[in-house]
Structure 1
Amino acid sequence: MRFGILGPLDVRAPGGTPLDPGGPRPRALLTLLLLEAGRTVPAERLIDGLYGDEPPAGAANALQSQVSRLRKRLSLDIEATPAGYRLAVGPDDVDVHRFERLAAEGERAFTAGDPSQASALLGEALGLWRGPALADLPAAFGSRLDEIRLTTAQTRIEAELALGSGGGLVPGLRELIAAHPLSERLYGQLMRALHADGRPAEALAVYAEARRVLAHELGADPSAELSALHLELLRGREPARGRGVPAQLTRFVGRADELSRIDALLAGARLVTLTGPGGAGKTRLAAEAARDRADVCWAELAPLTGGEQVPYALLAALGVREGFRGPQGDPVERLIDALEGREVLLVLDNCEHLVDEAARTAGVLLGACPGLRILATSREALGITGEAMCPVPPLAAGPAARLFMDRAAAVRPDADLHARVETVHGICEALDGLPLAIELAAARLRTLTVDELADRLGDRFRLLSRGDRTKAPRHRTLRAVVEWSWELLDEEERDLARRMAVFAGGSSGGATLAAVEAVCGVPYPEDLLASLTEKSFLEAAGGRYRMLQTIRAFCAEHLADEGELSGLRDAHAAYFRGLAAQAEPYLRGGGQLPRLAALGAERDNLSAALRHLVGADPRAALRLMADLSWFWRLRGLHGSHVPLARELLAALGDEPPEDLAEEFVLCVINTVAGDGNDPREPQRLARAEAVLASRDHALRRPFVVVLWSVAYGPQYAVKERVRRQVGEAPWGLALLDVGLGFQEWFAGRPVTSEEHFERALAGFRATGDRWGMANCLDPLGMFADWRGDRERALALLDEGLAHVAALEAPEETADLLHRRACVLLHQGQLRDAAHHFTRSAAMARAAAVPDKVASARRGLGDVARIGGDTEHARVHYEAALELCAANWFSVGETVRTLIGLGRVALAASRPDEARDWFEQGLALCDGPTRALELADAAEALASVARDPREAAVLLGAGAGLRGLALAGDPDVAPVEERIRAALTPETYEKAFEEGRAMRSAAVSRP
């Protein structure tokens, strides 16, 4: 089948027969699916497109019905997925995707200097349009495509102008200007077309029209480029079209923000310098920024070996020839004569090795030629008054991956890298997002697979040693790029650069001024750091100095010997041990936010110090790990340190070192991954339990109790020993109340539990600990929800979310979002609940907590089921079961998920299957800490009980096990209403109270 949406929806059978999708809503639905042909479209996006801001009640159910009817009417393959719906058609079967492909190919052909091929491809792309795009959707949906259409049309006109066309373009250009009266590019193209057609007077009149329209509509004058074109035409000269800008052989990727910034800077400054490390893409960015300007001169300075050559290189770039008798007069004066009266952009590429002479020449020319603007590229600034700096950072993750895949497609067209996007992102991150390094890496896919490439990046200088032979030697290999910068440093700068290689790379690597001074042993290093930054060997931001990984690896190679490296690592570890030890006591009070920020900024350095100490000094490593353990938990980082903790434990052996018992227990806790893959885990936990049990006094680190209960489970009850271990300090007493609160909650005594959490909240407020407050507000919000006080529940949870947002604690954020989603679900706000569950899943996934991801997926299943979409509900429940890990948290989650599957079966009128699911959940509730799961199972079994009185007993058992009956629960309330209708009030109350008294015994009689 063929589909057209560049105009009114057009559906054609394989033989060309038109097909009717139906009324406006099916047409809109099919258009939305075709926009993402072959990809899943989220249900929320489809609902928004069909109904706008006010979807009807049961919109998910209505969407499912619409999809079903569309399937049947057109025999379409529309697949339901956990995330939404997917129309199984190829992109080339839909005109909009053919248009975007042809437009991109045409742009590439034009950039590569083939205007004939570009014109053909772009003309074919534009010929697919039959009217306004996405005519069956609101106008806002088509705005992006309209912009692409305009850009495609303009590029095709450029190609035709390059081929010598003129008069034939004029009618189409006038139509485009009528539709886009503020587009200066179109006015310029019309002026050039009229000039090429021998109509110069009309071309000048177009400029007058553009100036009038811009003044009336925007209160602005024409741009410098349009004014320069007008001046060229007045002089009777052929309009300049980006002459001097080197032709590029590859597609330009990303850098939209940088291009906009360069345009803005050039509008206000006459000298703009692009700075950045070698390989960052300064030259290519300059070429793209200069390409469409009216009068451009490009001067390449890299091949020059002496400063005296700079003016002569500029003369050659301007096309100023020497006389027969050789050079005549001062070259700078001749440059001034050549530039006099011109509105020209002069590009000085690669100034860093001749920066003084380039700066002197540029300063003289700017002072003498008011129409001159200069765009320079350099690894350090020229240092001229009025210079505007534009740093060129590495590519962000998305553009870096696109660049890699674009260049890889040229050498391995058969490689489907979209299926390996995570690996591609990893490669680009390892290469610091440097465009040159990414291009060199992509070229190696001629002989390597993407996995082989990723595995070999540890030796990046050898791997990326074969580049484009057409490029200058300094850009053929990664090593040559860095060596070019290295040679520009003096000996003191090189010495500090070598030493700074000891600091970690990565987003939280680098060093503060204090760290550089302490670790590198260089007193007062401010001037050297400033110089290295100016030469793009370091990046400076927020008081930190950071090296790109590529530069760091190069500097590490230049350390004198292993002894120097070992000494630096010892100094580095000592400094960061002190930093962690100083911060640790403040992580449990009002000063926790600045200390968390300080540790977060040094996260990679702290990990590097710990890795070094595990091998060099295990006792010191144990202390550092203990100092970091609470920080890791608050920031959701503990999972990434499991292998290192296991390595440290192996180095220490089974017995804790003297006076380090608490630190030993924390190390054991940090080895627990919760994945069930380590058979030694139970033995370690048993040994650590014995060590902790021997501590019958206040602990130096009372948070050990929290982390132990998380790792070991709720069977670690609050006993007298634990009371003594938390001590008498306010934080420990508040923590004790939290433990007692959970204990009472699991025992089905919510009133007492709530009292403990209220007291704990007051205690944590007194200490200023946001983590403690959030962990009290979560259960307090739940109790309010159970009683039906939903507004109070949301207020409590919102306060908790504010605290965890300040802490940047992903695991606690996931918990509170999940709890808030449950409240919204009970209020009937299904879309908001689904949004919260989705966010909770994302936060839990980021924190590597699979049981909480499972909980969120189960919540999404509840939303879908209550909204009537049982198909998606089942998908979510099954995904939740797969995610449940082998730890104590997952038993409860598994029980609730099995109950959800039972309710799906019940909604489909399959009560026997539902009962089977409920009984499977009941069978897992086999311990004293499972009262809450038993309560859920009892209430679920009540919905399939054959005898109304037995159902009332089960509802009573649920309330008894939980300690109260849930108010307004969307699953329990209808069952209660049905049972009350089947029994007399006296019979119901008597049976309910019988169940409440029997508690767990009642559940065993479904």
Structure 2
Amino acid sequence: MRFGVLGPMVVRRADGSEVRVGGPRLRALLAVLVVDAGRVVGVDRVSEALYGPCPPAGVANAIQSQVSRLRALLDVEVERSPAGYRLVVDPGEVDVLRFEELVARGLPGEALALWRGPALPDVGDAPFAAVCVARWEELRLRAVEEHDGASVGLLRELVAAHPTRERLVARLVRVLHREGRQAEALALVERTRRVLVRELGADPSPVLAAAHGEVVRGERPAARRVLPAQLTSFVGREEEVRLVGRALGSSRLVTLTGAGGAGKTRLAVEAAAVRPGEVCFVDLAPVVGGDVPRAVMAALGLREDGVAAVADPVARLVAALQDRSVLVVLDNCEHVVEDVAGLVGGLLVACAGLRVLATSREALGVTGEVVRPVAPLDVGGVGSAAVRLFADRAGAVNPSFRLDPATAEVVVGICRALDGLPLAIELAAARVRSLPVAEVAARLGDRFRLLSRGSRSAVARHRTLHAVVEWSWGLLDEDERVLARRLTVFRGGVTLGAAAAVCGVAGSDEVLPSLADKSLVEVVGDRYRMSETVREFCAARLVESGEEREVVGAHAAHFAALAARAAPFLYGEGQLVWLGRLAAEHDNLVAALRWAVGHDRAVALRLAADLGWPLWLRGLRSQGASLAAEVVRAVGPTPPEGLAEEYLLCLVNASSTGVAGLPGSPSPRELWPSGLAGPPSRPFLTVLWGMAHGAPRVDVAGLAVVRERLLGPDPWSRALGLLGAGIQSRYEGRVRQAREEFAAALAGFRAVGERWGASLALAQLAGSAREDGDPVGAVGFLDEALALSREFGATEHTAALLCRRSEWKCRSGDLDGAAADVEEAAVVARSQGAVEAVAQAWLGAAEVARRRGDLGGARRWCAEALRVCPRGWFGPEEVRASILVVAGLVEWACGDRVAAAGAWGSAVAVAREWDNRVVLARVVDARAHAAVADGDAARAALLAGAARGLRGGGAVLDPEVVAVEAAAREALGVAVFGEVVARGAALGWDAVAALLDA
């Protein structure tokens, strides 16, 4: 079982189901036992936890009664002894004990990931809880101070609670600086300085002063470094680390080659660790062909948010890396070597600051590549690298081991027999836990007798390594062998619960740790992983057993069930928790889906449909679309009976992001909405349709039918329906109704605790507030949406919100503030390779330049924005049209009326194609501006009225629009101007289009 107290108390069985622990006393009893799991808790401490300082008469019986109730709930034992009570569980099954262990091991990132909220919030005010929580919070604060990857949201929360904790403030200052938010960082320093003076009478410490100085001087902030934590010491390759570093200094592509188990990965990690600057590690072992660019995107933290178009993954990487100096480590390239070679070759040409360190069993074959073979460790004698490695690992598993004269020669013989291969040596050293070193040597010699003949070529070394794994296999009992071979169906590691559910081995919670003790698997956090070499060996045993299809099928069924179980939580308060769980199982979920595509298409459809929304939320939209396309291709043009919704969702998902190659498949519009018998059970289908195809072309009565057909009765779907209705009302000019619908949508999303929808609703409310003449309120809504977006990690969405805030600041005359927002948006968008957001940022830069009178700069920014803006669906087409509107204004101001008219005509064409009144209103405003410049006040007034009608009335805040209306009013007189404006506001869509054509 798993126990969680770092947040609301949670208890889960091995299958993931939750055990409800009701009542404050029962929760207090469980809490006091859990925090000392595996140890006896005295009766006095239990009594105080349950009843405080004044226990009732007969407290011993009362405690025993509570213990009996607890035993009935749990699948583990609560032992009674004269000294007290003991919860018989491994400390590794308790989140806070794992947290303490990870902090002690120097792994703050993994430790912080275990927190779900305030610790022990539901056990009352028991003294033990207060003491424990204080200790854990202090450890958490230290971990955050030491962890370079802590999020801005978490840092802000902790700084607000501990404003005088200067190391914490310094960490937030540096993170803000790294994200390009220098003004915010400087404001934080100044605010902290005032707090320190007021509360402590002290100036900032050197730690905070140093961070402040980095921002003021504009020094490059500390680089992002993503490397796997190492659990063992590094022995024997110190000179090779230096040589690899030298090779990286002279070449931008270095490949470490060698047999499996030669130590390529560890050498690459150590070489990267001593190199300054930004470093990113990408494990390609679980990746299949075609997914290499997305694996690199994920490692770099490049998200694809659910509010913007998806760029080609390679283009995304180029956009993100072309202005950065970064070392990317690509590990385990051999099975996707052609894909890696193609990607690396292209990136190195396009990104001058990029360096790549690859590990592979063969060279990539890319021009300029430096290949460094990784040879076995030297086995020259007692002081050799191989012997030192054996001694180090043997001492780790058996503290009594000593490399004395009696054992030294034996160890030298073992290392020579193993040809100095690090993995083979580590596997042999692990046996010292239970065997004398001489016995290890004797068994090794027997095992390798047939393999000691012939050439000592690379092939022989590989056979030797295979034999070492085979020898380790021979030491396993039957249950261990069964579990080891069945574990090979997992990708990216496995938890105890998943291993038990899929592998079907009795007592797997004991057998799996035993495999870890015997070095067949390694433990990282709460997950067990096999090295690729061991996995390949055990996978062959699975094939020989004839169990492969059954076990792989069980794996697919288990992870399909996990995705289905997660689905409802992704639309509510548990969204981030379940996204984290699915992220941890990402490789397993993808493997399950790909197996099901070829063997069980019904499972494939359900799993692809359930994965669409979490992949979208996690910024992996193109991967979700690609997987959906694989399923549609396999299924063909007709969905299986009872799976119409799943098929339609996959079809829309694939087509919405430009995935091609679905021959014979129907158009999504052919199936929507007639292909559904009722509202979809997966609200993501409605989201996806709206994002990909815009609002349905129906009238108000038709909209009610559509909502009834496409929106379920659950609270989240109702909130989504209100959001969609508000957007349609806004596009059709019903401003007041739109505002009411956005407010109701926000309330609905907040009620269920869902962040993505709330952020979108806030952004729409910002637009409504601005139309109401409340620019301050509009920026307030945007600030709130930005905070929510940053907490969610939706950086592309963050960039889009910054662009919108910049636009409004620009129109209110705050050009400096607008320029700052544009600059930050560009930094965020380019760091993510988010080309649509980059286009929005350049549009903002063009508007700032135009309004400052820099027409040459504005023209250049418009051209750059059009160059990078993608095409093909509603979002980017609206951005493209908005760029064309501004480009037309610039050309008109430069005197090129033909170019201006061409740009505005193209924008109108986009507005017509997508029924977009917002874009059309912007074109009409621009034409009114031109009409005033031409002295045609009547036409300007008519166009001004048409723009008002398209926007549904609302306050006019843009100073340029105000100036246009004022000039027309002065020329025509108030009465005539009012009459003409009213006539323009009454024009319908076609009449406005005809007016523009004239």
Range into which the TM-score falls when normalised by the shorter chain:
0.5 to 0.7
Whole-Å Cα distance in 2 between the matches of residues 886 and 283 of structure 1?
41
Asked if the contact 1:519–1:571 (Cα under 8 Å) also holds between the matched residues in 2, the reply is yes
Residue 853 of structure 1 and its aligned partner are, at CA, apart by 5.0
Distance 1:482 1:525, change over 3 A: farther
What is the match of residue 922 of structure 1?
908
Asked if the contact 1:899–1:918 (Cα under 8 Å) also holds between the matched residues in 2, the reply is yes
Asked if the contact 2:181–2:824 (Cα under 8 Å) also holds between the matched residues in 1, the reply is no
Whole-Å Cα distance in 1 between the matches of residues 921 and 272 of structure 2?
69
Residue 727 of structure 1 and its aligned partner are, at CA, apart by 3.8
Distance 1:499 1:645, change over 3 A: same
Distance 1:277 1:419, change over 3 A: closer
Instruction: After TM superposition, list the pairs within 5 Å mapping 1:822-833 onto structure 2.
Output: 822-826=807-811, 827-828=814-815, 829-833=817-821
**Which residue identity does 1:950 align to in structure 2?**
R
Distance 1:860 1:499, change over 3 A: farther
What is the match of residue 968 of structure 1?
957
| Residue 449 (str. 1) matches residue 434 (str. 2) | no
**Which residue identity does 2:829 align to in structure 1?**
A
Asked if the contact 1:740–1:756 (Cα under 8 Å) also holds between the matched residues in 2, the reply is yes
Whole-Å Cα distance in 2 between the matches of residues 805 and 574 of structure 1?
35
Instruction: After TM superposition, list the pairs within 5 Å mapping 1:154-169 onto structure 2.
Output: none
Distance 1:416 1:584, change over 3 A: closer
Q: Greater RCO between the two (CA within 8 Å, min separation 6)?
A: 2
Asked if the contact 1:810–1:843 (Cα under 8 Å) also holds between the matched residues in 2, the reply is no
What is the match of residue 774 of structure 1?
759
What is the match of residue 1005 of structure 1?
995
What is the match of residue 608 of structure 1?
591
What is the match of residue 938 of structure 1?
924
Per-residue CA distance 1:606-633 (angstroms, 9 max, x = gap) = 1110111011100111121222222223
What is the match of residue 723 of structure 1?
708
Per-residue CA distance 1:907-950 (angstroms, 9 max, x = gap) = 43444432332233234432582221111101111222221332
Per-residue CA distance 1:845-864 (angstroms, 9 max, x = gap) = 46xxx655544443343344
2:525 to 518, 542, 551: 542
| Residue 705 (str. 1) matches residue 670 (str. 2) | no
**Which residue identity does 2:904 align to in structure 1?**
F
Distance 1:839 1:688, change over 3 A: farther
What is the match of residue 722 of structure 2?
737
**Which residue identity does 2:327 align to in structure 1?**
G
Q: Secondary structure at the match of 2:810?
A: helix
**Which residue identity does 1:708 align to in structure 2?**
W
Residue 139 of structure 1 and its aligned partner are, at CA, apart by 11
| Residue 996 (str. 1) matches residue 975 (str. 2) | no
Whole-Å Cα distance in 2 between the matches of residues 864 and 402 of structure 1?
45
Q: Secondary structure at the match of 1:253?
A: helix
What is the match of residue 634 of structure 2?
651
Asked if the contact 1:844–1:852 (Cα under 8 Å) also holds between the matched residues in 2, the reply is no
Residue 751 of structure 1 and its aligned partner are, at CA, apart by 1.1
| Residue 789 (str. 1) matches residue 752 (str. 2) | no
Residue 997 of structure 1 and its aligned partner are, at CA, apart by 2.5
What is the match of residue 190 of structure 1?
none
What is the match of residue 25 of structure 1?
none
What is the match of residue 650 of structure 2?
667
5+ long unaligned stretches in structure 2: 1-176, 188-213, 222-235, 249-260, 275-324, 334-340, 380-418, 422-456
1:503 to 490, 494, 498: 490
Whole-Å Cα distance in 2 between the matches of residues 584 and 599 of structure 1?
10
Distance 1:839 1:139, change over 3 A: closer
**Which residue identity does 2:486 align to in structure 1?**
R
Asked if the contact 1:580–1:628 (Cα under 8 Å) also holds between the matched residues in 2, the reply is yes
What is the match of residue 228 of structure 2?
none
Whole-Å Cα distance in 1 between the matches of residues 642 and 785 of structure 2?
37
Instruction: After TM superposition, list the pairs within 5 Å mapping 1:503-522 onto structure 2.
Output: 503-504=490-491, 509-522=492-505
5+ long unaligned stretches in structure 1: 1-43, 55-136, 145-243, 257-275, 290-395, 405-411, 432-436, 454-463
Q: Secondary structure at the match of 1:398?
A: strand
What is the match of residue 686 of structure 1?
669
**Which residue identity does 1:1004 align to in structure 2?**
A
Distance 1:901 1:246, change over 3 A: closer
Give the CA RMSD over aligned residues: 4.8
Whole-Å Cα distance in 2 between the matches of residues 503 and 562 of structure 1?
17
Asked if the contact 1:895–1:924 (Cα under 8 Å) also holds between the matched residues in 2, the reply is yes
Q: Secondary structure at the match of 2:329?
A: helix
What is the match of residue 896 of structure 1?
882
Asked if the contact 2:683–2:711 (Cα under 8 Å) also holds between the matched residues in 1, the reply is yes
Indicate the percent of aligned positions where both proteins have the same amino acid: 33
Per-residue CA distance 1:886-909 (angstroms, 9 max, x = gap) = 223343333212112112223434
Which range is displaced more, 522-531 or 464-473?
Answer: 464-473
What is the match of residue 287 of structure 2?
none
Distance 1:471 1:815, change over 3 A: same
Instruction: After TM superposition, list the pairs within 5 Å mapping 1:789-868 onto structure 2.
Output: 789-809=774-794, 812-826=797-811, 827-828=814-815, 829-838=817-826, 841-842=829-830, 845=833, 851=836, 854-868=839-853
**Which residue identity does 1:253 align to in structure 2?**
G
1:763 to 727, 732, 748: 748
Asked if the contact 1:844–1:853 (Cα under 8 Å) also holds between the matched residues in 2, the reply is no
Residue 759 of structure 1 and its aligned partner are, at CA, apart by 1.7
Whole-Å Cα distance in 2 between the matches of residues 284 and 994 of structure 1?
71
Whole-Å Cα distance in 1 between the matches of residues 959 and 760 of structure 2?
26
**Which residue identity does 1:830 align to in structure 2?**
A
1:634 to 600, 612, 617: 617
Instruction: After TM superposition, list the pairs within 5 Å mapping 1:95-134 onto structure 2.
Output: none
**Which residue identity does 2:245 align to in structure 1?**
V
Asked if the contact 2:263–2:374 (Cα under 8 Å) also holds between the matched residues in 1, the reply is no
Whole-Å Cα distance in 2 between the matches of residues 888 and 695 of structure 1?
24
Whole-Å Cα distance in 2 between the matches of residues 989 and 939 of structure 1?
17
Q: Secondary structure at the match of 2:622?
A: helix
Give TM-score scaled by structure 2 length: 0.54
Whole-Å Cα distance in 2 between the matches of residues 538 and 515 of structure 1?
15
Instruction: After TM superposition, list the pairs within 5 Å mapping 1:191-230 onto structure 2.
Output: none
What is the match of residue 940 of structure 2?
951
Asked if the contact 1:822–1:833 (Cα under 8 Å) also holds between the matched residues in 2, the reply is no
Q: Secondary structure at the match of 1:925?
A: helix
Residue 598 of structure 1 and its aligned partner are, at CA, apart by 1.4
